[in-house]
Each structure stands twice: as structure tokens, then as C-alpha cells.
Structure 1
Amino acid sequence: MHGGEPSVHFINSVLVTVVVALFVLWRYRLAILGGMMQGDSTALPLPAERPPARVAVGSGDLAAHEGAMRQRIAAAWLLTTAICGLPMAIATMVAGEMSTSPTYALALTCSYMIAALPMIAVSLAWPPRRIVTAFVAMMLGFAALCLSAGVIERSLLGRPLSWKILGLFPLFFDIAWNQLWMAGLFWLMSWPRRLRGVVPITFAAVLVFAAAPFAGSRLTAVLAATEVGTPWVYTLGLNGVFMLIALPVGWLAWLRLGKLAADYEAKHFSDAQLLARTWWLMLVVTIGFDILAGRERPTFALLLVIGEIVLFPLANHWVMHLLGLAKLATARPAPTLLLLRVFGYTARTERLFDRVASRWRLLGPVTMIAAPDVTARTIDPGDYLRWLTGRIDDLFVTTRPSLDRKLARLDLAPDPDGRFRITEFCCRDSTWQTTVVELMLRADAVIMDVRGISAARLGCEFELQQLAKRLPPQQLVLVVDETTGKERLKAVFGPALEQVRVIEIRRRRDADRVFDALVDAAGGAGAPSDASPVTKKDGAD
């Protein structure tokens, strides 16, 4: 077997995954939009007025908790990649018949640990600038660590030190490039936020199904080389042999997809953990290809890939448990955030969603009304499977009993990585108003993006009126910009708007101010005494 053949199949699988993921998002968005337009003309009655249920938690506790979660999550991914990277480094050295240098093993392990960066960035919702800064810091830190290890190793062996030892510093960058360049390209293909929700499950299915042509070509070659098999090749033909393989492989791919969806629903892993497994698989397979093609050791490469695939989730589960992420998440009440917005502004809503909702998942669950503008951020393996099997209607609230069932099953528990989930409610025209009011009464903090509010946005006005009527104004945060109709906002919400935290967003970093205001709102802190319909603006960057 030539190493280039399976490598081509794997690369094709990655490329096909991106294309299929884009198609899935497009069709899923249309399915959600179509479902929203259906329903009876008679709307469900609104819930009776009752006091909202809130958890008791201080804003200072929430801020401290977020900081502790960030530190532990970053440590968890670094430790996971270190545990899995060390045996892969040793295997690489053995396969290449290299010298057993601890410094070189450390350099290889550190290069594999760079895979922790995208995992941390996704889990903690890092902005691009933070990612670049962390990448530079990791590269310099790991290079300095390898240099220090080289100095210690030579000293212990009694070898003289010279200025040439400084060559270990640039050597690490060379090692990291050689080990990661191909995997890095794969990571970049799956990095866009709109693809992250569907890439792991799509890749899992495509990778299995992509084995069909590869296995078919190998089976054809084996049959054609035998006296008994040659007639079968002529009888079935290449297409027949492919179908003979494709059907059972397709069935295995379907089983794999169902298993992933079931495990996700059972909270065996989070969306970030599933994406991390996909990225680690991409790295491991590229290392296996190098051993297969460059060292011509197919059995060794296969064992390495299988071993790492098995090791990574086990190590990650153990590390998450060791650091007590889920335990820390449940050590204090988890406030629920309700995210509301003016529909129809996809890019703008996604930016706010990425920064605010993703950060809130370190504190508690997030609820929202589903719409096409954020489907790429909320689709999960269960939703994927329902869409694929034509059961998209199962996601929608159609009657009062179906709403009660969905509210009773509201996911309020953390995942193994300590992050909470986002629960979206898909509603018909006749059910969304009742649903959003029920979510208001269950929320500890509410953010509403009212940028773009106008007389034509009747749904937005309904939500504002219900918020003013049913919730304390200190529990709300409204997001505006220079285009927001301030006077209309006052007219719709009423005089209590003076007590609401209203944040004007003029640049991306203002989303952090929105998050801080939400933490204060959930913690029960009163609005500033000088609160006004628009908060005091910061200077521009």
C-alpha cells in the first residue's frame, strides 16, 4: 500500500466535509424558516402573570467563577494534548529510528500541544486578537522550554555548552512546522464559526463513507489477482464492486452518526469536546501518513492512529474530571440567560452571539427563540439527525402540551467540560409569543438586541412590552447603536427604561461591556443611579 493513496482519500474527505457542511447549513436554515411560517392561525394564550423565578447569586461570584472556569478549561486542554502528545512523539521517534533524546521528545510533544490552542479558543470564545497573542506566546514559551531542556540535558550528560545550543530555539519552530502544517490547513478549513456546529458530525460520516472507494479499489485489486476472483471482477465491474462495499459502509456511517447524536444528547461530551476530537484526529492521521509514506511502516502507523483515537477521549474525560470542571460548574446556582433580538440581521446577531452567549455558557445555560439568523451557531448532532431523517417538525413547539414538554426537558446541567448548553425553541407563528414569555419568566438575565427596531418590527415590540410588564428592569440589558430609534424605544418600553442597562455598541470590544452588564443584572446589582436610555459612550479605538 502506498502512503499517498489513503492520504488522498483523507484530504478529499476533509474537502467534501466543508462542502457538505455548507449544504447542510443552507438546507437546515430553510427548514427552520419553513417551519416558522406554519401553524394554526389561533395563537396560544399567554401565561398568567406570576413572579419570575430567579437564582440567588452575586455578580462578584459570577465574575470570579468565570475566571476560575477559564483557567481550568485552558489547563484541561493543555494537559489533554500533553498526555496524548507524548506517546505520539515517542512513536514518531521510534518509527524514524531517531536518537532517544528527551529534549527532542519534549519538542515534538510541545508541537502537538499547539493543537490545544484552537480547542481553548473555541471553549472560551476568544476573539481573533487574543488567539494570535496566545499563539505567539505558546510558540515562544515552548521554544524557550525546549532550549532550557537542552541545556539541562547536556549538563547532566557532562557535555560542554556552547553558543550553538541556542539553535534549539529556532529548531522548535522548524519541528512544529513540519509536524503541523497539513493538520493546520485542515483546522483552518473547519475553523469558520458557521461550520463548527456541523463539521464534526459531517466529518465522522464522510470519513467512514469515504472508505468505500478506497476499500473498493483494494478489493478489486485483490480479486483481480486471483484466479477465482477475476471472473467476479468482470461480472460485477468496477461499479458493482463499489456498490458491494458502499452499501455496508454507508450503513456504518449512519450508525456512527446516530451514535454521536445519542452520546451528545446523553451529555457524554460537549460540542467543543466533539470538535476537539475532530481536530486531534486530523493531526493524528497526518502523523500516521508521514510514518506510512516516509517510513513505510503501515502497521505501526495504523496502530498509532487507532491508539490515539482511543486515548484522546479517555484522557480528556479523566482530565476534565481531575480538574473538577463539572463539579465547579454546579458548586453555585447557574443563572439562565435569555437572548432576544430583532430578526433579520444575521452577521450582526452572530457577532454578538459569539461573544456574549458563548461566554455566558461558562456561567449557566442560554435560551433563545430559534431563527435562521443563528442556526449555524445552535445546530447540534441531535438537530442534525432530525433534519437528516425528515423529523425537523419534532423541534417545533406546536401546542401547549408540546411547550410544556420542552420546558420540562430544559437542559440546565453542565457538560463534562463545565460549559452549559444553548437551548433554542423552534416556534410556529401561533406559539412563539407564549414560548418567549415562558422563557422570560425562567430567565435570571435577559439581553435584547434592539438595533434595527422600527414600526415594522412588531415582534420586537411585543417582547419589549412583555419584558417591561413581567420582569424587573434591573434584570434586563438592551443593546443599541446609533441607528436605534431611541424615542420609539421609550414609547414601547415605557418609563421603566430609565432603570434598564442600555449599552451602545460601536465596535466589537463593546460586546465585553454587554457581558459585564449581564453579569451585574444576573447578580441582582441595581442599575447605576445615573442610568439613562443610552449608557455613557467610551472613546473610539
Structure 2
Amino acid sequence: MHGGEPSVHFINSVLVTVVVALFVLWRYRLAILGGMRRGDSAFLPLPAERAPGRAVLADGDIAAREQAMRQRVAAAWLLTTAICSLPMAVAYMVAGKMSASPTYALALTCSYMIAALPMIAVSLAWPPWRMVIAFVVMMLSFAALCLLAGIIERSLLGRPLSWKILGLVPLFFDIAWNQLWMAGLFWLLSWPTRLRGVVPITFAAVLVFAAAPFAGSRLTAVLAATEVGTPWVYTLGLNGVFMLIALPVGWLAWLRLGKLAADYEAKRFSDAQLLARTWWLMLVVTIGFDILAGRERPTFALLLVVGEIVLFPLVNHWVMRWLGVAKLAAAKPAPTLLLLRVFGYTARTERLFDRVASRWRLLGPVTTIAAPDVTARTIDPGDYLRWLTGRIDDLFVTSRASLDAKLARLDLAPDPDGRFRINEFCCRDSTWQATVIELMLRADVVIMDVRGISAARLGCEFELQQLAKRLPPQRLVLVVDETTEREHLKAVFGPTLEQVRVIEIHRRRDADRAFEALVDAAGGAGSPPDAWSAGKKDGANQAAP
């Protein structure tokens, strides 16, 4: 078997995954929208007024806690990829019958460790510019490390040093390009934030199910080459052989989907860890193709791919425990963030999720009311499987009993990678008001995006009135811009608006100030005397996007 055939199969699986993922998101959005518009249940009475809960923060230094979490998570991904990359580098050198050079093994290992970069970026909610800077720094650091290793190796072997040793720097870049260009292309295809929630489970299903035509063609060739198998090929035909393979393969794909969803629900891994496994699979398979096609060692390539697929989650689990990532996250009370917004602004809401809610997941859980504008950020393997099996109604709050059950199942514990989950509540028209109040009463801090609110555009007055009525204003952060009518907002919220932290956002990076305001609110820091004026002053000279 030549390497070209399975390589084409794998590439097609990646491309099909992107198309299928986009289709899934579209259909899932429609399903959520349809469920929201259904009015088949009675209006739930609003909860009685009571004191809202609040996590008791030990030291109030939440910023330091976030920094410690960021450092440990980044170290965990670097160490995971380093441990898994070293045996793959050695195997690649053995397969190619290369000389045992520690410097070359280090160069290959460092090349494979570049895979840690997108894993870190997703876990820490990095903006694109930070990832670019980190990539440049990582490449230069690894090149310098390889140069230092080359100098040490030549010195230990008693070889003279010359300026030609500097050639190790461009050599490392060349090695990294040759090893990573195809995997990097796959990573880019699955990188868009909107696809990350559905790519891993879609890829797992497509990769398994798409093996049917590949296995069918191989089985047909094997049967046709034998006297016993030839009549079967003529009897069944090509379509018959395909169905003979497709049915059990489809069953295996379905089992795989169920296993992934069950493991995710059991918190055996997080969404970021599942995505990281997908990216690592893409890398090791491309290395396996190189060994298969270039070295013509199919058994060696298969063992390498299978071994790395098994090794990566085991190493990652051990590293996360060894560094105490989840233990650090659970050591102190985790403040819960409730995210509210004016519905209908998908791109704007997604940007706020990426820069605020995603960062908050290092500190505590996030709750929100589900809607089509956030489905790409909140869909998980369990939601995926419910939609796929036609059980989307299971996600919706339809009665007081179902609301109480979902509140009791709030996921407030960290995942193995130390990040907390997003708890989304899908509601009918008749249940969302009672649900949002219950979430308010369980939130430690609340951020609400009121950009665009005006006397002519209603829609979030109920939430604002309930926030003003039921929560201390010091625990709230409002996001505004130049389209927000101050007088209307004050008329709806009331006189305590001046005690609320109000952040004016014009550019994407301004969302960091909203996160900092949330950290202050969670830590009990006092709000500025005139938060609205402060926000206006900070954003006065910034151009609107």
C-alpha cells in the first residue's frame, strides 16, 4: 500500500469536517431558535425576592490567581507536547535510518512542540496578535536552543567550532517547515473560533465513517485477487462491498460519538483538551504519512500513529495533575459570572465571549441564556449528540421542575485542565424570565452588554430592572458604546446606575478593561465615583469599529 491513498483519505476527511461543522452549526442554531419560539408551556412565576449568593473569596487577589493559572496551563501544554514529541522524533530518525545526533533529535522535538501554541492560545483565550508574537518568540527560542545544543555536541565530540555552526538556525526553520506545513494547514482550517466547539467530534465521526470507501476498495482488491473472493465480488458488486463495510463502520462511528459525549459529560477532559487531541492527531498522522510514503515502512508508521494517539491524553492527564492545575482552580471559591446581552448581535456577542467569558473560565464558571448568537461558543459534545438524535428539547427549560433540575446540575467544578465550563440555559418565551432571575441570584458578578439600547430599541429592560432590584450595583459591569442612550439606560436601571462599573468599548482590545472591571467587582474593590464618565473619557478618542 502506497502512502498517497490514505493521505488523500485523511486530507479529504479534514476538508469534509469543516463543511460538515458549518452545516451542524447552522442547523443547531435553527433548532435553538425554533425551540425558543415555542410557547407550549405555562409562564413560570418569578422567584421571590431573596438575598443573592456570593462566593467568599479568600484573599481577593483574583488577578494573581488568574496569572498563576495561565502560567500552569501554558507549562502543562508545553510539557505535554515535549514528552510526546521526543519519542516521535526518535522514531522518525530510526525510520529514516539517520545518524544518532542529539541536536537533530532536539530540532525535531522542538518542531513538534510548536503544536503546543494553538493549544495554549485556546486555553488562555489569546487574541490573534498575542499568538503571532508567541509564535515568533517560540521559533527564535527553539532555534537558539538547537544552536546551543549543536555547540555543546561538537565540543563534547572534540570537533572544532566555526561560524558554519550558525547554519543550525536556518536548518531548524527548514526542519520545522517540512514537518509542520501540512499539519499547520489542518490547524488553520479548524482554527476559526466558531468551529472549535464542533470540529473535534465531527472530525472523529468523519474520520471513522469515511474509512468505509477506503476499506471497501482495499477489501474489493483483496477479494478480487483470490479464487474464493472473486465470485463474491461479482455477486455483491462494488456497491454491495461498500455497504458491507459502511454499516459496521457507521455503527463504530456512532459508538465513538457516544463515547466522546459521555466522557465529556463525566469531565474526563475539557473542550480545549478534546480540541488539542484533534490537533495532535492531525500532526502525528502527517508524520506517519511521511514515514509511510518516504520510508516505505507502513507497520512502523501505524505503530507510531497509534502509540502517539494513546500516549498524548495519558501524558496530558498526568502533567495536569503533576502541576496541580485543577487543584489550584479548586483550592479557592470560584466566582460565577453571568453574561447577559441584547440579543441579535452575533459577531459582537461572540467577541465579548472570546475576550471576557473565555478568560473568566480560568477563574470560575460562566452562566448565560442560550440563543443563536452564542451557539458556536456554547455547544459541547453532549449538545451535539442531543441535536443529532433529535433530543434538542431536552436542553430547554419548560417547567419549574425542569428549571430546578438544571439548576441542581450546574457544573461549578473545574475540568482536568483547570478551566471551568459554560452553563447555558435554553429557554422558551414563557420560561426565560424566571430562569434569568435564578441565574442572577446565583451569580457572584454579572456583565451585561447594553450596546445599542435606546428608547426605540427595547429588549433588555426586564433584565436591567431585575438587576437593579435584586443585586448590589457593585457586582455589575455594563458594556456600552456611543450608540447607548444614557438617559434611557438610567431611566430603566434607576439612580443606582452611578454605582455600577460602566465600560465603554470601541475596539476589540477594550474588552480587556471589561474583564478587569469584573475582577475588581469579584474581589470587592470599590467602583469609581462616576463609572460612566470614566468610560466616556477612556474611549473618547478611540475610533469606533
The equivalent residue for 2:384 is: 384
SS at match of 1:477: strand
Deviation at 1:59, TM superposition (A): 7.6
Alignment of 1:28-177 (within 5 A): 28-40=28-40, 42-57=42-57, 60-177=60-177
Residues 503 and 532 in structure 2, CA contact (< 8 A), matched pair in contact too: no
Q: 1:534 to 1:453 in 2, by over 3 A?
A: farther
The equivalent residue for 1:537 is: 538
Distance 1:135 1:175 in 2: 16
Q: 1:28 to 1:437 in 2, by over 3 A?
A: same
Distance 1:453 1:426 in 2: 23
Deviation at 1:474, TM superposition (A): 0.4
Amino acid at match of 2:202: T
The equivalent residue for 1:397 is: 397
Is 1:334 matched with 2:341?
no
Residues 187 and 279 in structure 1, CA contact (< 8 A), matched pair in contact too: yes
Distance 2:232 2:512 in 1: 66
Amino acid at match of 1:120: I
Distance 1:534 1:136 in 2: 36
Residues 60 and 524 in structure 2, CA contact (< 8 A), matched pair in contact too: no
Post-superposition Cα deviations, 1:180-230, rounded to whole Å, max 9, x if no partner, equal: 000000000000000000000000000001110110000000100011111
The equivalent residue for 1:523 is: 523
Distance 1:392 1:455 in 2: 35
Give me the TM-score of the superposition, normalised by structure 1: 0.99
Q: Percent identity?
A: 88
Give me the TM-score of the superposition, normalised by structure 2: 0.98
The equivalent residue for 1:447 is: 447
Post-superposition Cα deviations, 1:111-135, rounded to whole Å, max 9, x if no partner, equal: 0000000000000000011000000
Amino acid at match of 2:334: A
Deviation at 1:523, TM superposition (A): 1.2
Residues 498 and 531 in structure 2, CA contact (< 8 A), matched pair in contact too: yes
Residues 465 and 492 in structure 1, CA contact (< 8 A), matched pair in contact too: yes
The equivalent residue for 1:436 is: 436
Amino acid at match of 1:76: A
The equivalent residue for 2:26 is: 26
Post-superposition Cα deviations, 1:17-53, rounded to whole Å, max 9, x if no partner, equal: 0000000000000000000001247411000000000
SS at match of 2:426: strand
Distance 2:194 2:511 in 1: 19
The equivalent residue for 1:269 is: 269
The equivalent residue for 1:466 is: 466
Residues 39 and 398 in structure 1, CA contact (< 8 A), matched pair in contact too: no
Distance 1:400 1:371 in 2: 20
Amino acid at match of 2:89: A
Residues 14 and 186 in structure 2, CA contact (< 8 A), matched pair in contact too: yes
The equivalent residue for 1:234 is: 234
Distance 2:91 2:201 in 1: 29
Alignment of 1:319-358 (within 5 A): 319-358=319-358
Deviation at 1:506, TM superposition (A): 1.0
Distance 2:25 2:383 in 1: 11
Post-superposition Cα deviations, 1:251-274, rounded to whole Å, max 9, x if no partner, equal: 000000000000000000000000
Residues 112 and 180 in structure 1, CA contact (< 8 A), matched pair in contact too: yes
Amino acid at match of 1:232: W
SS at match of 1:404: helix
Residues 58 and 332 in structure 2, CA contact (< 8 A), matched pair in contact too: no
Amino acid at match of 1:485: E
SS at match of 2:531: coil
Deviation at 1:459, TM superposition (A): 3.6
Distance 2:29 2:411 in 1: 23
Q: 1:403 to 1:533 in 2, by over 3 A?
A: farther
SS at match of 1:11: helix
Distance 1:400 1:456 in 2: 33
Post-superposition Cα deviations, 1:339-390, rounded to whole Å, max 9, x if no partner, equal: 0000000001100110000000000000000000010010000000000000
Deviation at 1:60, TM superposition (A): 4.6
Residues 356 and 515 in structure 1, CA contact (< 8 A), matched pair in contact too: yes
Alignment of 1:160-199 (within 5 A): 160-199=160-199
Q: Which moved more, 1:32-41 or 1:137-146?
A: 32-41
SS at match of 2:340: strand
Distance 2:455 2:244 in 1: 61
Deviation at 1:532, TM superposition (A): 3.4
Deviation at 1:456, TM superposition (A): 5.6
The equivalent residue for 1:285 is: 285
SS at match of 1:161: coil
Q: Which segments of 5 or more consecutive residues in structure 2 lack a partner in the other structure?
A: none
Residues 86 and 109 in structure 1, CA contact (< 8 A), matched pair in contact too: yes
Deviation at 1:458, TM superposition (A): 4.2
The equivalent residue for 1:371 is: 371
Alignment of 1:196-207 (within 5 A): 196-207=196-207
The equivalent residue for 1:9 is: 9
Distance 2:365 2:354 in 1: 15
Is 1:427 matched with 2:447?
no
Amino acid at match of 1:420: F
Amino acid at match of 1:492: V
State the aligned residue count. Answer: 541
Q: Which segments of 5 or more consecutive residues in structure 1 lack a partner in the other structure?
A: none
Residues 59 and 524 in structure 1, CA contact (< 8 A), matched pair in contact too: no
Amino acid at match of 1:537: D
Distance 2:457 2:87 in 1: 58
Deviation at 1:531, TM superposition (A): 3.1
Distance 2:398 2:465 in 1: 24
Deviation at 1:540, TM superposition (A): 3.4
SS at match of 2:373: helix
Deviation at 1:320, TM superposition (A): 0.2
Amino acid at match of 1:20: V
